[in-house]
Amino acid sequence: MNIAIIGGGAAGMTAASRVKALRPDWNVMVFERTGFVSHAPCGIPFYVSGFVEYLEELCTYDVNYFRSERGIDVHTNAKVFEVGDGYLIAEENGKERRYEWDKLLFATGSKARGLNAKYEELEGILSVNDNIMNAERVKREALKSENIVIIGSGYIGVEMAEAITRLGKKVTVIEMAERPLPEYDAEIAAILKAEMEKFVNLRLGERVVAFEGKDRVEKVLTNKSEYKCDMAIVAVGIRPNTEIAKGFVELGKSGAIKTNSRMETSRENVYAAGDCAESINIVTGKPDWIPLATPANKMGYVAGVNMAGYELHYPGSLKSQITSFYELEIGKAGLSEHEAIREGYEVISSFITTKSNARYFIDGLIHLKVVADRSGKLLGIQAAGKGVAMRIYAASALLYRGSNVRDLFFTDFPYYPPVSRVWDPLVVAARNLFRKIGIP
């Protein structure tokens, strides 16, 4: 049995490892367009900042490990440019080669979005994507620059802003929306905004319209102003990398590949997993595109099990996520209030600012928002401050089980003064919602 996997990132290598573990006599081939596999693009900002010294540290295992220890036929620097029934054609070392497959997995990931403004002809304008080789170039350019503009303040933009200020560079962040991390609600984003303004020139509600420079970028122009720079980083989001799959399998509204809970696509014996694939949003029950690392690994695991002839179903994702900017943690699970309204829920919410630990400890402030439906069903939780991670972990477990406000209130959270409270912030926020759902 020949198994072909296009993409050697989180989903691809997890699937390959699972198939080989369950079917050691099968031929498992992985085609990766870069020179690295099992790479962790989430670690790119830490490499740029210098916290991670070597690029290879961003790979869980190297190519030789997968070849020698797991028996996977890994092809690096192999670009697959044609897929058909039972075959694919890849370019390797300047030569085209044809490979036969019995089962195929698309694990092609995502790619950086561009801007409408033209900038291809200028040096010093880069994007951050899942190719960790690109991180080396970003760091090299940043080290020789002084004034750097980052376009976009989603996760990539926020994390790169910290990374580059840690290099001692002057940073301007330009965001088209009225707040950083626009998928968060205004109350939480305001906390991040205040923290970012201590370190960067944060420009909100501005849209980049052009770049100027002779050979290298010298200026970024927006609809409101202009900013001098000798480097610009485009971090305006990502999109599914599904060009190779178009016309071969069905795509969803997001542009990602439609899958069922077995990670099967519209074509028999063809699967998809990771950032290139849609799955179910557990809160809404609807198909969604959720390009995050933890879902990608689990989708790859499920795909591998099913490709090997066993049965396992992927329930979907909550979009649980967390990041930080210097000492500020920011996290989210489920829907924000504006997302819930867009989905048609009758929304109630509670926003609180309190201590995440006992009042007699100096630090530990947390800002937390719980979003629920009028029926009491939990829809989402967001937080910024100290002790965010453990609240998002707890929220994720509750949301996964379809819990309600009463469940959140009565969850038995542990108490220890340095790290938590008798009345945990999650419990306080739930209590505030009681009167809105008819509980005294």
Which residues are part of the catalytic machinery?
42
> Which of 3, 9, 5 has its CA nearest to residue 291?
9
What does the DSSP 8-state code read for residue 264?
Answer: B
Structure tokens of 131? 């190719």
Q: What is the dihedral of CA 213, 216, 218, 222, to 10 degrees?
A: 70
Decide: 238 and 111 in contact? Cβ < 8 Å.
yes
C-alpha distances out from residue 404 to 40, 284, 303, 375, 396, Å: 35, 14, 31, 8, 13
**Cα 277 from Cα 296, distance rounded (Å):** 9
What does the DSSP 8-state code read for residue 258?
Answer: P
> Which of 134, 170, 192 has its CA nearest to residue 382?
192
Instruction: Look up tokens 């629920």; give the residue.
Output: 372
Element of type H or E holding 296:
helix 293-307
Query: Which DSSP string do the residues of 382-418 spell out, in sequence order?
Result: EEEESSHHHHHHHHHHHHHTT-BHHHHHH------TT
Evaluated on CA atoms 264, 267, 268, 269, the torsion sign reads negative
Decide: 389 and 331 in contact? Cβ < 8 Å.
yes
C-alpha distances out from residue 42 to 107, 156, 219, 281, 390, Å: 17, 9, 28, 22, 20
253 Cα distance to chain centroid: 19
Decide: 170 and 229 in contact? Cβ < 8 Å.
no
Residue environment code for 227-262, b if the CB has 16+ CB neighbours within 10 A, otherwise e = bebbbbbbbbbbbbbbebbeebbebbebbbbbbeee
**Cα 9 from Cα 299, distance rounded (Å):** 12
